[in-house]
Amino acid sequence: MTSKDRILSRIRRALPEAPRCAAEGARLGDIPRDYLHVHGDRTPAESTDLLAAHLSEYRAKVHRTDGAGLPELLARLLAARGARTVLVPPALPAHWLAAADAVLVPDRAESTPYELDAVDSVVTGCALAVAETGTIVLDGGPDQGRRRITLIPDHHVCVVRVPDQLVDSVPQALARLDPTRPLTWISGPSATSDIELDRVEGVHGPRTLEVVLLGAE
């Protein structure tokens, strides 16, 4: 028996008694989902603090504001970055960038990767955020735009409405997300490490991620 045979044999023994060949129309038995759906009880404020802590650990920059302070905060973040052009999804609330001193570039299907790479920053909303993992989830909604506009520019500012768009755990997130949509899960800025653990940022997406936690007014 080869190593492959032994591995497959162990997998078969671990599976519930059910037909094994999906290609022939067979269906596996119900998968047990008796795992914890959340780890501990938290208030909305505690969940927000946990999200902020995990985002910071991943080297994202976290800011907090309310609706009245959001335009000025976004303008300040873009100015600090020196952003002269900002990518804007089609349904981003217009007042969010009303105070920004930058050229707003609409998300267009015909934009080339070279054109997107020339843009200084992108500002989006999100689908939701996960406190326990410090993860932002985008689903290509109208306030987020196409996936590529959050992967090519070097600076991404993402606004999360808390607590409405905040969940504690990944199982809770999956229950709220539409699996047919193009989901992008972001935990901090793009980063990778080689075998010597030398960290390089900006290889697979934005080098800088700034998350704005937008609370109720």
Residue pLDDT, tens place only, 52-70? 999 999 999 999 999 999 9
Which residues contact residue 48 at a Cβ distance below 8 angstroms, ignoring those fewer than 6 apart?
A: 131, 162, 163, 166, 213, 215
pLDDT of 80 > 70? The answer is yes
Which residues contact residue 77 at a Cβ distance below 8 angstroms, ignoring those fewer than 6 apart?
A: 63, 157, 210, 212
How far is residue 127's CA from residue 97's CA, in Å, rounded to a whole number?
Answer: 19
How far is residue 89's CA from residue 110's CA, in Å, rounded to a whole number?
Answer: 14
Q: What is the mean pLDDT of the chain?
A: 89
Looking at per-residue pLDDT, the higher value among 137 and 5 belongs to 137
What per-residue confidence (pLDDT) applies to 163? 96
Q: What's the CA angle centered on 136, arms 75 and 110, to 5 degrees?
A: 70
